[in-house]
Amino acid sequence: MTLPVRIAPSILSADFARLGEEVRAISAAGADWIHVDVMDGHFVPNITIGPAVVKALRPHSDLPFDVHLMISPVDLYLEAFAEAGADILTVHPESGPHLHRTIQRIKALGKKAGVSLNPASPVELVAEVLGDIDLILVMSVNPGFGGQSFITSQLKKIERLRRMIDDSGRQIHLEVDGGVDAGNAATVIAAGADVLVAGTASFKGGAAQYAANIAALKGH
């Protein structure tokens, strides 16, 4: 069963000099989750934000913080992000040697656990942990930067994962991240996604546009 559609604006596309204000504005504009892209300059070719920033932003929104960890090694930092106020911690299988152990650590911290698949990563990487996770994140761009184009080959992967999730009988979010905009959102949802990450498409045009941007992503 597909869950109601949620929009998770990526603050990577917000004005970093005014992040608290931006998180308040996008929350008021109808966002469902706040997507936080954490990059280390090693697992991906960009460096963004760490737990101190997540902690500083936490009082600015009541929405779930959906923290996408593009860092390796990842295990060392799970506790810091959990304590900083993350609600969902999503990891890439390639960022550590023992995915199952990493998921168990996230659960032990009382947080929801997500697994993210890069464009070249096969769905089989999550097959044996479906019983343990709350979310699968399909990367529809190569991770590292906002503003890239949606890789259409990922639609088939989203469809395959939707079938795997439905067959599992569990309620697992299927989230899609990268190049999602008002023009392709309906296609991504039709393929089986229930959470759309959108950076550029959420934050374009300044705060006066945010509510319209989010409504457009929801098809309104």
**Residues labelled as active-site residues:** 37, 177
Which of residues 12, 99, 165, 216 is near ligand DX5 by CB under 6 A? 12
- The partner in contact with residue 20, picked from Zn ion, ligand DX5, none with C-beta cut-offs of 5 to 8 angstroms by kind, is none
Give the shortest CB-167-to-Zn ion separation in angstroms.
26
Considering beta carbons, is residue 66 or 134 the nearer one to ligand DX5? 66
Identify residues 101-160 at the interface with Zn ion (CB under 5 A): none
- The partner in contact with residue 126, picked from Zn ion, ligand DX5, none with C-beta cut-offs of 5 to 8 angstroms by kind, is none
Which of residues 22, 32, 37, 40 is near Zn ion by CB under 5 A? 37
Q: What token pair was written down for 210? A: 């945010």
Which of residues 55, 144, 182, 218 is near ligand DX5 by CB under 6 A? 144
- 9 binding ligand DX5? (CB under 6 A): no
Give the shortest CB-152-to-ligand DX5 separation in angstroms.
14
Pick left, alpha or beta for residue 144 (phi over 0 → left; psi -120 to 50 → alpha; otherwise beta): left
Span near ligand DX5 by CB under 6 A; candidates 22-30, 88-96, 143-151, 156-164: 143-151
Task: Render the chain in DSSP notation, one character per residue.
Answer: -PPPPEEEEBGGGS-GGGHHHHHHHHHHTT-SSEEEEEEBSSSSS-B---HHHHHHHGGG--SPEEEEEE-SS-GGGHHHHHHHT-SEEEE-GGGSS-HHHHHHHHHHTT-EEEEEE-TT--THHHHTTTTT-SEEEEESS-TT-SSPPP-TTHHHHHHHHHHHHHHHTS--EEEEESS--TTTHHHHHHHT-SEEEESHHHHTT-GGGHHHHHHHHTT-
Span near Zn ion by CB under 5 A; candidates 34-42, 47-55, 182-190, 202-210: 34-42
Residue 142 CB neighbours (<10 A) = 14
Span near ligand DX5 by CB under 6 A; candidates 75-83, 142-150, 163-171, 211-219: 142-150
Contact in structure between 92 and 116 (CB atoms under 8 Å): yes
Identify residues 185-214 at the interface with ligand DX5 (CB under 6 A): 197-201
Considering beta carbons, is residue 32 or 177 the nearer one to ligand DX5? 177
Q: Under the rule (CB under 6 A), what is the footprint of ligand DX5?
A: 10, 12-13, 35, 37, 68, 141, 143-144, 146-148, 177-180, 197-201
